[in-house]
Structure 1
Amino acid sequence: MAEGGAADLETQRTDVAALLKTALRKGDTWYLVDSRWFKQWKKYVGFDSWDKYQMGDQNVYPGPIDNSGLLKDGDSQSLKEHLIDELDYILLPTEGWNRLVSWYTLMEGQEPIARKVVEQGMFVKHCKVEVYLTELKLCENGNMNNVVTRRFSKADTIDTIEKEIRKIFNIPGEKETRLWNKYMSNTFEPLNKPDSTIQDAGLYQGQVLVIEQKNEDGTWPRGPSTPKSPGASNFSTLPKISPSLSNNYNNMNNRNVKNSNYCLPSYTAYKNYDYSEPGRHNEQPGLCGLSNLGNTCFMNSAIQCLSNTPPLTEYFLNDKYQEELNFDNPLGMRGEIAKSYAELIKQMWSGKYSYVTPRAFKTQVGRFAPQFSGYQQQDCQELLAFLLDGLHEDLNRIRKKPYIQLKDADGRPDKVVAEEAWENHLKRNDSIIVDIFHGLFKSTLVCPECAKISVTFDPFCYLTLPLPMKKERTLEVYLVRMDPLAKPMQYKVVVPKIGNILDLCTALSALSGVAADKMIVTDIYNHRFHRIFGMDENLSSIMERDDIYVFEIAINRTEDTEQVIIPVCLREKCRHTSYSHSGSSLFGQPFLIAVPRNNTEDKLYNLLLLRMCRYVKTCTESEDTEGSLHCCKDHGINGNGPNGIHEEGSPSEMETDEQDDESSQDQELPSENENSQSEDSVGGDNDSENGLCTEDTCKGQTLMGHKKRLFTFQFNNLGNTDINYIKDDTRHIRFDDRQPRLDERSFLALDWDPELKKRYFDDSAAEDFEKHESVEYKPPKKPFVKLKDCIELFTTKEKLGAEDPWYCPNCKEHQQATKKLDLWSLPPVLVVHLKRFSYSRYMRDKLDTLVDFPINDLDMSEFLINPNAGPCRYNLIAVSNHYGGMGGGHYTAFAKNKDDGIWYYFDDSSVSSGCEDQIVLYIGSHK
């Protein structure tokens, strides 16, 4: 067993590795762990082969589990938005979490981030950890201004919510209550089935739930619950309930409600209702907003685009879909998606409502596509693709799909092969979606080895066009100058997206004036160097949330032979070692320092003290006694000035000089062939040398002897024997003649006594920094790219990647063939999707390129290679817009109403007149 009761590192590694493979089971609890802490733990236990050299080293000990990087600032419960599994956090099952906590504890003041495993899907069910909970607003009927927010799993039941509300508002257990779901300003729905889950009840993010207590006379403050006829539409509107009920409502309440779905005290069956807001006057058909159910703007935008596609909407409004519903298609959804969509479209085009709440539709989508079942932001195009495919299969006129053997062209004319491909497609796929949205690609593959040419024709439902890749990205970095009195400066630099660290240094040099070859780039995390970069390393390894510090160094790290660059970390000696195996914990910001290769302990101590003089507190004049440390004003360390340091160490606080000298002189250094993972203390006291101060630098001032130092220091070689030094009896330090390999594994640790740190180390000053004007700089607007440029890029020949090769039937091997796509035939309604989002192992990004496209007369004829295609022109009818960054932002839509030909702007439940100049293309529909 390791120190502190923790299992040995090999056991930790094997146990957690096995538990990471635990299968998800509905109802189980899993825990989030910040990926940065987890990576540090993996180093400490040698989890991966490349971390074996650091295994067990005390200076990579991760300390208590720290999840602060996952939480919103100032909120110990709310997760930051848009966190990604494995990139931002690791999921551990309960047993794995409990073991880690028993070995390392949890950071003081933090709570475990526990999440339930929920089941998604209708036919093909799969389990998923529900990372983001549903936030509900809870209040009492008598005081709706007093709102309390709580988070629930969508697997929690209505009964669980009611118990929580009772607890919050101290409602006695014998008091009879009922629960209401409050919509908009004054619309309420009874929640009358305790076993129904949040997901089944259709509760969404930010929903207001009201609890009502029964009066002493047996009546309810809100009056009796509202019944609804069993045959009524899911989109009908409940009366706006108030203490003074209308005559109609009272008459409705007097009906026999034994068989009603609204008998609240007996908790009868729950129905999933949608609500609509009646217009004050007759509304223009189609000008109907969609309520946001919590991050569902992506769905609303897609629906508005399809709703304003005339041939599809007329098909549903005229009930033609009912004749073609396919309930037996194994690839379909038993007609449920088509029927639910039809109901929604009829409500939107009825002219009765200014907006509707599409809960029933979203529930159906979530049942068949679990990725859309929650209330996290999703991609509008992915929802649109699912919806078009779902409608197609639900309305497929082919009841039994025949098996078709696909053929290669084998030199046959394109016209023959294309007609054959389309006929084969129609034998299996024939629906209103095919009629309106399907076209044909020509795909040409050429083998690089045998020159085999393969030609196929493939149907498509939408045209996904690439955008010119963004060539630059913006990084925020902190520059730490050599001047010890200068605060770190925050800069915003523009660097090549596919660049290296040298590019970062060059860009920073242009802003700061510091030479690029005098910079060292680091990633600081948890008070240590998480990574020290080489100039040739890729910028793609820097993530958006990394704290990048660039240090100005006076020497050239590859050429200077007289000085050596040392990473320095600050440690505080712990009186209790429950948080650290080494009896110390890291604090503050680490730094780099260049020191002479020939040195003494006193000189090195004074160099380190000088480097920290900006945030090492001074003594007062009354403290300036014989024990004070004095240094020249030019260096910022002066016992009589603002940076004078006085120590009042006593035997009770720290060891005596004699003890320090004895322990330091008796310590032996390891040779190069001995274990290199060592800590060698070289911080003993010595009063015989004056360190940095000389006659020239002190200008007549004196450096008086001091009884104790503020800190001792230890060299830590973590698998790197290049940082070697020789210390003789005179306390002289000689570093190895070779320039050490600079990385995060080897550093100099400065160990502070807690009392001295509290007295002399200014934490606030150490964290202080300034902002360069570049941080506030907003780059100029990017130039437009024409839509035709994107189409040309789409039809450009490309080489397949190594991860996506093509199997050549001649070579009988997978080859990185060249591939070219061409347009052969286009559909009546063309859906264009601009591929704005890009992904990599380390990055998520949105391409913000502006696209210039015609509102009318988009001529696609020049891109059709079918000689018999004829003219092909389109007019824009709808656009899905996306504002903001990847994983977040907001979706809206522009669409042209089919009845009046006017453009309108759809922003969730709001509908307003639109302007063509405001349209920003993400997904466009052309007719």
Structure 2
Amino acid sequence: AFSRLATVQQVTDFLCHRLSLTSEDARLWLLREHSSSLLDDDNMTLQDLNIVDGDQILLEVRNKDLTWPEELSQLAPNGGHDIGLSVERRPTICLPPGATGLHNLGNTCFMNAALQAVSNTRPLTMYFQRDAQLSELNCTNPLGTKGVVARRYAELCRELWAGSTRSVAPLKLRCCVTKHAPLLGSGGQHDSQELLAWLLDSLHEDLNRVANRQYTELNDSGGRPDEVVAEEAWQQHLATNHSIITDLFYGQLKSKVTCQVCGHESVRFDPFNLLSLPLPMESYILCEVLVVRLNGDCPVKYGVRLNSEARYLELKVQLYELCGVKPDRLLLAEVAYCQIRVLLPDESRVNSSTVTELYAYELPDVDDVAGTDEGENETEEEMGIPDSPLARSPEVSAGSALCMPNILCFKVCTYPNRALVVCGWRMTVVTVARNRRLSTLQVANVKL
């Protein structure tokens, strides 16, 4: 039993949980004596739907091909009424015309995108809404589909712009795609532009007003003005291809060929209905860096825009312009789960795919480190660090698993067991060695 204040979504979730189904693969129908209605408003309660004790609710489960049994029944010769029920889609809310979605019938998102784009071309939609296509159907055109695609698209267009349901299933049009364009109806992922090109071409051939095509050779430009040549080419194109698609979606592309021997120029105006526009790759990276100051001030997050080929040194330079900390006094690190995962050297390229947070720690000045009291410092030998070639190198080693070159650029050291961890409110420190003397430097004293 359900409470009368339970919503359609709550009832669906409960049934899906008990039957081990996903909510996307199930929907509810209210069964009456001679009709049934789809409960597609998830926020309505059982009381709002006037459901009382004894009423029957049907749980419909989606097929494996992502279609609904009710939609397939509508394709049957008897319209699925052999069970004695008339299927009704209950109007949900007052929707503006065109605010209707399309069901994904199994990897058909590319088709739905093209259909929504074409259906929102207002002149074409008005053309189909007033049934103007009925007087222009060209069922004898061998290049068309005998008017099938035009009729199916007209039916879908009326459903999309009726404003009575939240979404519809373009099942009949999908069947046309599978029959007349098998490569696009194979059930796999395809380019939406390919489906759009096929749809416009099929609609054009089904609605072509020219019954008998007579092709003529296009005259040479002969130095005439472009306006004259373009108009002549357009009229010649309309003599063989003239439809509502031509009126709305076609244009002319000018091309000019010049002979390198005699200098003769030939100008042509070719019709087109699609232009491929290559999308450029992103040439910049947006980085967010949290700058932790040495004086304990509240950390500040800065947004920096960098070139895709930028190095971390360029990031430091831009941070210097924003926060006033010199690049050689900034330590960049990737932090995840309150732990420094990796230190970022200046020469490395900025990684745009990192999922960790970027932190920039302000470091003390070199002179301040060198001037610390020798009694407070320990030598590498006292700390137990072996006299390795790394320790004798011009770079500065560190007992905290970090080593610092003379330019104050930190990088990961080979010493294990001394990881640098940021945890809670504890003060994070870095022990660095310069000129074989060790010093403890405060990196952060805030909760991260």
Q: TM-score, normalised by structure 2?
A: 0.54
Task: Pick from 404, 413, 416 the counterpart of residue 748 of structure 1.
Answer: 413
Report if the CA contact (8 A) 1:519-1:552 is conserved.
yes
1:302 partner amino acid: A
User: 2:40 aligns to what?
Assistant: 184
How far 1:414 sits from its partner (Å)?
1.4
| Offset from partner CA, 1:563-596 (integer Å, 9 cap, x none) | 9xxxxxxxxxxxxxxxxxxxxxxxxxxxxxx999
Give the secondary structure class of the aligned counterpart of 2:97: coil
How far 1:513 sits from its partner (Å)?
1.9
User: 1:735 aligns to what?
Assistant: 394
1:509 aligns with 2:320: yes
Q: Equivalences for 1:317-396 in 2 at 5 Å?
A: 319-320=134-135, 323-325=137-139, 328-329=142-143, 336-348=148-160, 353-355=164-166, 357-360=168-171, 363-364=174-175, 367=178, 368=181, 370=184, 387-396=199-208
How far 1:517 sits from its partner (Å)?
5.5
How far 1:434 sits from its partner (Å)?
0.5
User: 2:128 aligns to what?
Assistant: 313
Report if the CA contact (8 A) 2:343-2:412 is conserved.
no
| Offset from partner CA, 1:140-198 (integer Å, 9 cap, x none) | 9994675755599xxxxx9xx9xxxxxxxxxxxxxxxxxxx976259868669xxx642
1:324 partner amino acid: N
2:320 partner amino acid: S
User: 2:242 aligns to what?
Assistant: 430
From the superposition, tell whether residues 375 and 276 of structure 1 become closer, same or farther in structure 2 (CA, over 3 Å).
farther
How far 1:341 sits from its partner (Å)?
0.9
User: 2:103 aligns to what?
Assistant: 293
Report if the CA contact (8 A) 2:333-2:341 is conserved.
no
Report if the CA contact (8 A) 1:278-1:352 is conserved.
no
Report if the CA contact (8 A) 1:397-1:429 is conserved.
yes
How far 1:357 sits from its partner (Å)?
1.0
Q: Equivalences for 1:8-27 in 2 at 5 Å?
A: none
From the superposition, tell whether residues 439 and 503 of structure 1 become closer, same or farther in structure 2 (CA, over 3 Å).
same
Report if the CA contact (8 A) 2:124-2:244 is conserved.
no
Task: Pick from 65, 76, 81 the counterpart of residue 198 of structure 1.
Answer: 65
Give the secondary structure class of the aligned counterpart of 1:751: coil
Write the distance in 1 (CA, Å) between the matches of 2:355 and 2:257: 41
User: 1:456 aligns to what?
Assistant: 268
From the superposition, tell whether residues 498 and 145 of structure 1 become closer, same or farther in structure 2 (CA, over 3 Å).
closer
Write the distance in 2 (CA, Å) between the matches of 1:524 and 1:461: 51
Q: Equivalences for 1:624-643 in 2 at 5 Å?
A: none
Report if the CA contact (8 A) 1:519-1:550 is conserved.
yes
Write the distance in 1 (CA, Å) between the matches of 2:258 and 2:360: 48
Q: Equivalences for 1:394-543 in 2 at 5 Å?
A: 394-396=206-208, 409=221, 411-426=223-238, 429-443=241-255, 455-461=267-273, 474-479=286-291, 483=294, 489=299, 491-495=301-305, 500-501=310-311, 504-516=315-327, 518-519=329-330, 529=342, 532-534=345-347, 542-543=352-353
From the superposition, tell whether residues 362 and 476 of structure 1 become closer, same or farther in structure 2 (CA, over 3 Å).
farther
How far 1:431 sits from its partner (Å)?
2.5
Give the secondary structure class of the aligned counterpart of 2:89: strand
Write the distance in 2 (CA, Å) between the matches of 1:280 and 1:735: 76
Report if the CA contact (8 A) 2:220-2:267 is conserved.
yes
Q: Equivalences for 1:720-869 in 2 at 5 Å?
A: 725=390, 733-735=392-394, 747-752=412-417, 763=423
2:135 partner amino acid: K
Report if the CA contact (8 A) 1:442-1:457 is conserved.
yes
How far 1:228 sits from its partner (Å)?
6.3
| Offset from partner CA, 1:46-73 (integer Å, 9 cap, x none) | xxxxxxxxxxxxxxxxxxxxxxxxxxxx
Report if the CA contact (8 A) 2:258-2:265 is conserved.
yes
Give the secondary structure class of the aligned counterpart of 1:319: helix
From the superposition, tell whether residues 293 and 752 of structure 1 become closer, same or farther in structure 2 (CA, over 3 Å).
same
From the superposition, tell whether residues 458 and 489 of structure 1 become closer, same or farther in structure 2 (CA, over 3 Å).
farther
| Offset from partner CA, 1:101-143 (integer Å, 9 cap, x none) | xxxxxxxxxxxxxxxxxxxxxxxxxxxxxxxxxxxx9999994
Q: Equivalences for 1:576-615 in 2 at 5 Å?
A: none
From the superposition, tell whether residues 293 and 228 of structure 1 become closer, same or farther in structure 2 (CA, over 3 Å).
closer
| Offset from partner CA, 1:429-467 (integer Å, 9 cap, x none) | 33220033323344568999x999774323344799999
From the superposition, tell whether residues 385 and 359 of structure 1 become closer, same or farther in structure 2 (CA, over 3 Å).
same
Write the distance in 2 (CA, Å) between the matches of 1:312 and 1:347: 14
Give the secondary structure class of the aligned counterpart of 2:415: strand
Give the secondary structure class of the aligned counterpart of 1:457: strand
From the superposition, tell whether residues 762 and 370 of structure 1 become closer, same or farther in structure 2 (CA, over 3 Å).
same
From the superposition, tell whether residues 736 and 146 of structure 1 become closer, same or farther in structure 2 (CA, over 3 Å).
closer
Write the distance in 1 (CA, Å) between the matches of 2:265 and 2:409: 51
Sequence identity of aligned pairs in percent? 21
User: 1:611 aligns to what?
Assistant: none
2:270 partner amino acid: D
Give the secondary structure class of the aligned counterpart of 1:456: strand
From the superposition, tell whether residues 289 and 521 of structure 1 become closer, same or farther in structure 2 (CA, over 3 Å).
same
From the superposition, tell whether residues 318 and 396 of structure 1 become closer, same or farther in structure 2 (CA, over 3 Å).
closer
> Going by fraction, where is strand more abundant, 1 or 2?
1
Report if the CA contact (8 A) 1:478-1:550 is conserved.
yes
User: 1:825 aligns to what?
Assistant: none
From the superposition, tell whether residues 543 and 430 of structure 1 become closer, same or farther in structure 2 (CA, over 3 Å).
farther
Q: TM-score, normalised by structure 1?
A: 0.31
From the superposition, tell whether residues 190 and 304 of structure 1 become closer, same or farther in structure 2 (CA, over 3 Å).
same
Give the secondary structure class of the aligned counterpart of 1:419: helix
From the superposition, tell whether residues 229 and 499 of structure 1 become closer, same or farther in structure 2 (CA, over 3 Å).
closer
2:138 partner amino acid: E
What is the root-mean-square deviation in Å for CA atoms of aligned residues? Answer: 6.5
From the superposition, tell whether residues 714 and 528 of structure 1 become closer, same or farther in structure 2 (CA, over 3 Å).
farther
1:735 partner amino acid: P
Give the secondary structure class of the aligned counterpart of 2:134: coil
From the superposition, tell whether residues 742 and 769 of structure 1 become closer, same or farther in structure 2 (CA, over 3 Å).
closer
From the superposition, tell whether residues 317 and 507 of structure 1 become closer, same or farther in structure 2 (CA, over 3 Å).
same
From the superposition, tell whether residues 546 and 355 of structure 1 become closer, same or farther in structure 2 (CA, over 3 Å).
closer
User: 1:694 aligns to what?
Assistant: 374
Report if the CA contact (8 A) 2:204-2:245 is conserved.
yes
Paired residues, number: 378
How far 1:345 sits from its partner (Å)?
2.5
Give the secondary structure class of the aligned counterpart of 2:301: strand
2:302 partner amino acid: K
